[in-house]
Amino acid sequence: MDGGPGALGAAEANHATNSPFRLDGLVSVVTGGAGLYGVGLVEAMAAAGATVVIASRDTAATEAVAARLCSEGRSAVAVELDLADEASIVRFRDHVVAEFGRFDVLVNNAVTRRGGTIDTVTFDDLLATTTVNFAGLLTICRYAGEQMKRQRSGAIVNVSSIYGMVGPQLEVYEGTPLYNPAYYAFDKGGMINLTRHLAADYGRWGIRVNCVSPGGLHTPDQPASFVEAYRRRTPLGRMATGADLAGPVVFLASPAAAYVTGVNLPVDGGWTAI
């Protein structure tokens, strides 16, 4: 078969004899690669054999992650990327292709958080978040997609949220300074349906596009009352860790998911099941 619908992409076919869950030989980009979820995603992809390109505006943080992984025998580099700037996105794509000759996997993990509830968010807040979370997202998919089309293979994995699928359970925030931001439902819900659109459009080139929607990530600074309320609401009885998201993302990026596209996978401990 020659690159049409149903065919394995070139990179996937080259690795069909290895474990299908491996990413050996693939160039994998993770945006927001030094963030809460990002570091775990980068570590997991590197452990699976990928050459990982860690993308962020915060080059000091990404370079530290890359240096640590390289010291452990992994393959990782840090490259600056500003998703609010189209020229930066183009330079980034061209840099990856010039250095590695390929652009196999794009994990869209970066997100801009600005603004509060529907009563406090400002117009400028919404412009700032939408510029990155929508315009930047679609634009990097476009330019990465151009290279993937030339290769006739590739995988895009978008990191959305349960709050792109369902409304917030506001009672879990009661009595805490935490809140569910107003822009989040728009940005993350749009990401899920953009995933379906791109899957339909890019499939003819052997490019797969999928999405994961994680539940709440546990961090040390969260109030105990919030963590307990969230735990009680979730069938698995706990909040998410970075490791919980890494496995599904590696799976969707890997040849093991060669016939999976257009899927939104909740990684939420059952939150959206009830």
Asked if 16 and 224 touch (Cβ cutoff 8 Å), the reply is no
CATH code for residues 20-260: 3.40.50.720
**pLDDT in the model for residue 7:** 37
pLDDT value at 71 more than 90:
yes
pLDDT of 231-241, one tens digit each?
Answer: 999 999 999 99
Q: In this structure, what token pair is assigned to residue 135?
A: 């315009």
Average pLDDT, integer, range 244-266:
98
Coil, strand or helix: which one is 197? Answer: helix
pLDDT one-digit tens code per residue, 165-206: 999 999 999 999 999 998 899 999 999 999 999 999 999 999
What predicted TM-score, i.e. pTM, was given to this entire model?
Answer: 0.92
- CA separation (Å) from 150 to 3, 10, 188? 11, 11, 29
Would you call 143 a catalytic residue per the annotation?
Answer: no
* Calpha distance 46→23 (Å, rounded): 8
DSSP element (H, E) containing 209: strand 207-214
pLDDT at 56 over 90: yes
Q: Which one is catalytic: 184, 202, 230, 259?
A: 184
Q: In which band, very low, low, confident or very high, does the pLDDT at 14 lie, cut at 50, 70 and 90? A: very low
Domain ranges across the chain: 20-260
pLDDT confidence of residue 115: 87
Return the structure tokens found at 272.
């959206």
